[in-house]
């Protein structure tokens, strides 16, 4: 077997192209002093709200679209999470530009919805579908992946309960979401069955301390539970 030949019992996937970019980015992110916080959030009201908006508008509004809306609103109240960590320091960004993790045949990409805080749930739902389809078909320009300030990684479709994603540098925060599942909760002192999803916030401890990060996750959970989106 020559030096260049590959064994017949394995397949080599070179760390080039998109796979190489992902590898370098993940290596950089892993070096950050990251911390994860988790919160179980009842989703019954959010699911009902998504169904109601879809019926009213004729546009399919998914829980993910409402989650983007809740994220945008909550990040405006907690600017330290809507920030970038650079050589100059912590840059709190005024615009909320939400990157969304999208799985493609070639690997994970994170296209960005710009100015998400200025868009309602229907606009976010439409843009999310268009953006994800274009990403999977390789039709997004490089600029579509730039200027993100916070990332959402939703793996509910994979059927897992929770995920602690890796940071998307230079962003200081990323939210991981698992599937909505039935769980027993306590309401008015009595057990009840509710649809619950686990949210995991991963943040860069150099930019954010645990307490303010906890307040952000608490407020995000309250926004999702109220479902006034």
Q: What is the pLDDT of residue 53?
A: 97
Nearest to 207 by CA among 154, 177, 167, 180: 167
DSSP H helices in 137-227: 210-226
Q: What is the pLDDT of residue 3?
A: 54
Whether residue 7 is predicted with pLDDT greater than 80 in this model: the reply is no
CA 199 from chain centre, in angstroms, equals: 10
Lowest model confidence (mean pLDDT) among 18-22, 48-52, 116-120, 203-207: 18-22
152-160 contacts, C-beta under 8 A, 24 or more apart: 152/64, 152/67, 152/68, 152/71, 152/98, 152/99, 152/100, 152/101, 152/177, 153/101, 153/177, 154/64, 154/67, 154/100, 154/101, 155/179, 156/64, 156/180, 156/197
What domains can be seen in the chain, in order of their start residue?
39-149+207-226 (3.30.559.10)
Report pTM: 0.90
26/203 Cα distance (integer angstroms): 14
- The tens digit of pLDDT for each residue in 62-81 reads 999 999 999 999 999 999 99
pLDDT band at 1 (very low <50, low <70, confident <90, very high): very low
Task: Tell me if residue 94 is catalytic.
Answer: no
DSSP 3-state of 227: coil
Q: What is the pLDDT of residue 152?
A: 98
- The tens digit of pLDDT for each residue in 8-64 reads 788 888 888 888 888 888 888 788 889 999 999 999 999 999 999 999 999 999 999
At a CB cut-off of 8 Å and minimum separation 6, what does 200 contact? 36, 37, 38, 162, 163, 164, 165, 175, 176, 177, 178
Cβ proximity of 177 and 161 under 8 Å: no
Cβ proximity of 224 and 46 under 8 Å: yes
76/84 Cα distance (integer angstroms): 15
In the chain, what percentage of residues exceed pLDDT 90?
79
pLDDT band at 5 (very low <50, low <70, confident <90, very high): low
Q: What is the pLDDT of residue 24?
A: 85
Q: What one-character DSSP code corresponds to residue 80? A: T
Q: What is the pLDDT of residue 10?
A: 85
Task: Tell me phi and psi for residue 55, to 5 degrees.
Answer: -70, -40
Q: What is the mean pLDDT of the chain?
A: 93
Tell me which of 78, 94, 103, 205 is the catalytic residue: 205
Lowest model confidence (mean pLDDT) among 103-112, 126-135, 195-204: 103-112
Nearest to 83 by CA among 75, 74, 94, 92: 92
């Amino acid at each position: 077997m020559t030096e260049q030949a590959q064994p017949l019992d394995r397949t080599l996937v070179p760390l080039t192209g998109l796979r190489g970019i992902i590898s370098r980015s993940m290596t950089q992110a892993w070096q950050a002093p990251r911390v994860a916080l988790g919160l179980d959030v009842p989703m019954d009201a959010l699911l009902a709200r998504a169904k109601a908006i879809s019926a009213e508008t004729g546009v399919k509004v998914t829980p993910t679209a409402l989650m983007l809306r809740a994220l945008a609103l909550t990040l405006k109240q907690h600017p330290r999470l809507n920030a970038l960590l650079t050589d100059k320091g912590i840059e709190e960004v005024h615009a909320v530009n939400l990157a969304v993790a999208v799985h493609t045949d070639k690997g994970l990409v994170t296209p960005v919805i710009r100015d998400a805080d200025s868009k309602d749930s229907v606009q976010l739902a439409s843009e999310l579908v268009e953006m994800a389809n274009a990403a999977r078909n390789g039709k997004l320009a490089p600029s579509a992946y730039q200027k993100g300030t916070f990332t959402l990684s939703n793996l509910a479709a994979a059927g897992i309960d929770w995920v602690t994603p890796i940071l998307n540098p230079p962003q200081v925060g990323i939210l991981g979401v698992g599937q909505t599942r039935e769980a027993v909760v306590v309401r008015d002192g009595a057990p009840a069955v509710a649809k619950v999803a686990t949210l995991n916030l991963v943040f860069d401890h150099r930019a954010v301390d645990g307490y303010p990060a906890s307040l952000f996750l608490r407020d995000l959970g309250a926004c999702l539970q109220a479902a006034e989106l």
